[in-house]
Amino acid sequence: MKLFLPFGSLLLLCTVTMCGSNSATPGGCTPGQSVACVGPGGCSSNQVCNAEGTGFASCVCAGSPDGGSHPTDSGRDAAMKDASHATDAHDSGGGTESGKDSSGTKDSGADACAVTASWDPSMLANLGLWLYGDKGVALNTSGNVVTWDDQSGHGNEASAPGVAMFAVDPGIVNGHNAIASHGSANNLAILDAASLQFGTSGFVIGAVVRAEMGDQLSVYSKGQSGIGGAYSITENPGGDYVFTIGTQSVKLTPTDYTHFHYVIAWSTTEGMQIQSDGVTTVTGPASSLDVTEGGVMTYLLSPGIAASPPDELAEVVAAKGPISCSDIANLTAYFTTKFAL
């Protein structure tokens, strides 16, 4: 479910597997179940069933002294959507345990999943790559994309080979541009740099993409699959998104292939996780591999077969760890709000 809250407040949003409260109300419920509620002052929030299934946590809204959520004069009309999109956790080699945050570690309360108003990817501590279709795209005389400038400050420009056929699809997703792939031999390549060498401290990759089911799109990849510390986010022939590090992987199936959706994959010492459509987060095995992959290029938007309509990428973000619950919540809220997902 999606919960709309004002931009001007600090919002505390948590998935059912991330946060909880010690205060319960009478009545049985399913552990981890999340329901909408009305808190003090008429504010909107969520309350979660406790681990014992004996009752729901108190309905409290964050962002004001009395716990209520109030309008601000920020002038922004867009509402911050619920970054948690609370759902059942699925087990894929480990599962997500109630009471743990998105990094897999025990959280100390709601603050662990705090979402910051007006957040954007520049606020990630170790941002290495930030491309979005509204800025920094250079075209040749045929209208094909030649380069796509990095907005992270590291100069990690993506470039298209001469035979590639990428075009700008203007205003396609909530008024924002996307880069569309019109061929099966396409890829956008990024030269290696220290800011894209993630080592062993974990990392996060997030993208807003539309991939046709079964076209085997590689959204983001570095290194040769299955060898060393290579990693990737790809779509397999069955339509699953697969997050792979070395020979370890975790996957999920998006609910809708007809529209743009976000895909966020991250790795910590506690496990590999992937999330899409705001529907589920799947946790796989922890990876201890070094993913530096020095001197190896990064590739974006590489379809296995030509798709019609074309595969498209509106934004991609990559950052070195350590990654916190709040990082994932902020990136989720940013994508869902900006692109109305």
End-to-end alpha carbon distance in the chain: 12
Residues 114 and 260 occupy one common structural domain: no
Which one of 85, 118, 151 terminates a domain?
A: 118
- The amino acid present at 122, given as its one-letter code, is S
Q: Which of 233, 246, 308, 310 is nearest to 276 (CA)?
A: 233
Per-residue buried b or exposed e for 62-80, using 16+ beta carbons within 10 Å of the residue's own CB: bbeeebbbeeeeeeeeeeb
Residues 192 and 58 occupy one common structural domain: no
| pLDDT, tens digit, 9 for 90 and up, residues 177-215 | 999 988 766 789 999 999 999 999 999 999 999 987 767
Domain that holds residue 223: 122-338
Residues 77 and 10 occupy one common structural domain: yes
Residues 113 and 131 occupy one common structural domain: no
Structure tokens at 91: 């087990």
Which one of 118, 143, 169 terminates a domain?
A: 118
Residues 332 and 280 occupy one common structural domain: yes
**How many domains would you assign to the chain?**
2
Residues 139 and 181 occupy one common structural domain: yes
Residues 177 and 319 occupy one common structural domain: yes
Residues 268 and 312 occupy one common structural domain: yes
313, 260 Cβ separation under 8 angstroms: no
Q: What is the residue-level pLDDT of the chain in tens, covering all 341 positions?
A: 444 444 344 333 333 333 333 443 444 777 767 777 766 656 666 777 776 777 777 776 544 333 433 333 333 333 333 433 333 333 333 333 333 344 333 333 334 588 999 999 999 999 999 999 999 999 999 899 999 999 999 999 999 987 678 999 999 999 999 999 887 667 899 999 999 999 999 999 999 999 877 678 899 999 987 788 899 999 887 788 999 999 999 999 877 767 899 999 999 878 999 998 766 678 898 888 899 999 999 999 987 666 567 889 999 999 999 999 999 999 999 999 999 99
| Helices and strands per DSSP (H, E), number in the chain | 1, 22
Q: pTM score, two decimals?
A: 0.68
